[in-house]
A and B are shown apart, each in its own frame.
Chain A
Amino acid sequence: MKATPLSNCERRFLLRAVEERKRLDGRQCYDYRNVRISFGADYGCCVVELGKTRVLGQVSCELVPPKPNRPTEGILFFNLELSPMAAPGFEPGRQSELLVKLNRLIERCLRNSKCIDTESLCVVAGEKVWQIRLDLHLLNHDGNIIDAASIAGIVALCHFRRPDVSVQGEEVTVYTPEERDPVPLSIHHMPICVSFAFFQQGTYLLVDPSEREERVMDGLLVIAMNKHREICTIQSSGGIMLVKDQVLRCSKITAVKVAEITELIQKALENDQKVRKEGGKFGFAESIPNQKITAFKMESAAVDTNNVEEQAEEIITKADPPSEVFAKPILHTPGTAQIGEGIENSWGDLEESEREEAVEEEGESEATAFECQKMETEDTSMMRETKKDEPIVLSDSEEEEVVILEPQELPKKTRTQTNSKQENTSKKAFNKRRRKKRAA
């Protein structure tokens, strides 16, 4: 399936919103979305939710012969997949640029930072080592896949337990989980990626861009850092020119964010550990909340509602009174009649002018039927009124002096017409005038 194209309207609106420092879901420029971590029943399986973006991480291990040039080190294998259920634009089996970029980033972040001790994965040097395989699946794409994937990766690795092994001479015994408790991997530090989206050639920056923001951004900067403030990976894409102090500022923000996220991860891991020890229920069935169709639940968006001025009354008082409406039939020449002014077609306006100042244009599909009805009732009411009035001859122009070809008692009438033009209009005034005319 093709992805929905981004309309010009949305693009313009998002850029304007960024300039005013407003985000779609009410976050501040440097705010992260809610991060939720849940674990599965197996060791090494976790789901990380960053707002609506969801990534599933699964770690598995296998005993294999080591690489020939590194006989004492274990093997790490990372794989990120963009599932078609994540977004309509993702198709299975197609290696897109995005996928390659994400994979490389995750690899550099986790492998080159040496966060996992590969020497400890060695069982028998040159013969058997553990191969750790991390699979990340993107379940839902709502922006910022990199951050969610990196968190899922590191959490899954921390959560994983490999079977215990003992070596006696040449014999290698692999114990099952029942015989001996599985052993966690030795992880030195936890590198976490933080993404920054840049707009307007680097003037504005947002942390944790959502999917819409990602579409209109100029460039992306990803910094992977651990809680000891060591930068593990840094990558800038999109071809924007960044100034030195922008990058420094981003790294400072990253440090703060990483500290928060690391704390969150630690807490989640501890919780899970506690639950398993106490023998309570654990696994996805418990931790992922039931999302039934009948149970409506949505995160509340903290939208900034300060300075929302312009109540309905203010608008009414500020708005100018509507222009005058001529609702009497007008004779251009004897034998023809015109009701209402050709230039200002403001039939429907008068009665609802005060109401409509509070409600400008409602749903057009809905209002077409609605307005047609209104207009019809207006027409009939005005028609009724106008029949009682005397027809007035008027030319197309609204000048004070009107030259008429066949003057028959016309000057009087035109004068009254122009007088009435000068009157201030409001609903009551119009009614008064109508009543006056009727009286006359």
Chain B
Amino acid sequence: QYVPVKGDHVIGIVTAKAGDVFKLDVGGSEQASLSYLAFEGATKRNRPNVQVGDLIYGQFLVANKDMEPEMVCIDSSGRSSGMGLIGQDGFLFKVSLGLIRKLLAPKCEIIQELSQLYPFELVLGMNGRIWVKAKTVQQTLIIVNILEACEYMTAEQRKQALAKLSGN
């Protein structure tokens, strides 16, 4: 179960649009709120094109245990720095929180080794959600399965599996 923490970057799923505010499911006990003005370049006239069911990558502005958590998609200087609406294709899946932290560590071997295989886009949310997009459905599925299995594999097993894949 994920507990929202201020400053954490997470992937949320839009569940409702209530006037000026979006409600997102982030995997915690409560839904987070996200104002439509909290995107880069958003004004009252220029609203972001977000539908129910879309994926958003943002960070927590407010996250106490007493209040509903609040998210934004811009950082303190007003730039998006990679946050915002995540693209339409690709696949979202869930892994354990520990694996995410391992993947986010600097110089993560898993990601470096995977990038040797073929290009892909990857977004990691601290709430355990990962979004992957590769060129074909099959490549995406392979990456998803490897990341899910990384939790249970030792480094040698992983290297073996990747060697088998790149040998094909």
Contacts and interface: CB of A to CB of B under 8 A. Distances in A.
Given A24-B144, A308-B139, A358-B115, A296 B168 contact: no
Given A13-B89, A13-B137, A362 B111 contact: yes
Contacts of B138: 20, 22, 304, 307-308
A169 interface: no
Interface string A1-29: 11011111111110011001010111000
Interface string A236-255: 00000000000000000000
A365 interface: yes
22 contacts: A4-B25, A9-B53, A9-B88, A9-B131, A12-B89, A13-B91, A20-B137, A26-B145, A298-B151, A301-B149, A306-B168, A310-B118, A315-B119, A358-B115, A361-B122, A363-B104, A363-B123, A364-B82, A364-B123, A365-B104, A366-B104, A368-B81
A440 interface: no
B118 A312 contact: yes
Interface of A: 1-2, 4-13, 16-17, 20, 22, 24-26, 296-298, 300-301, 303-308, 310-312, 315, 357-368
A298 B151 CA distance: 9
B35 interface: no
Contact of A13 (B81, B90, B148): B90
B123 to A, nearest CB: 6
Contacts of A363: 103-104, 111, 122-124
B57 interface: yes
B5 interface: no
A20 B15 CA distance: 29
Contact of A305 (B27, B29, B122, B164): B164
Given A307-B168, A362-B122, 18 more contacts: A5-B13, A7-B54, A7-B55, A8-B53, A8-B54, A9-B86, A13-B91, A22-B137, A24-B144, A300-B149, A308-B117, A308-B168, A358-B119, A361-B121, A363-B122, A364-B82, A365-B9, A366-B104
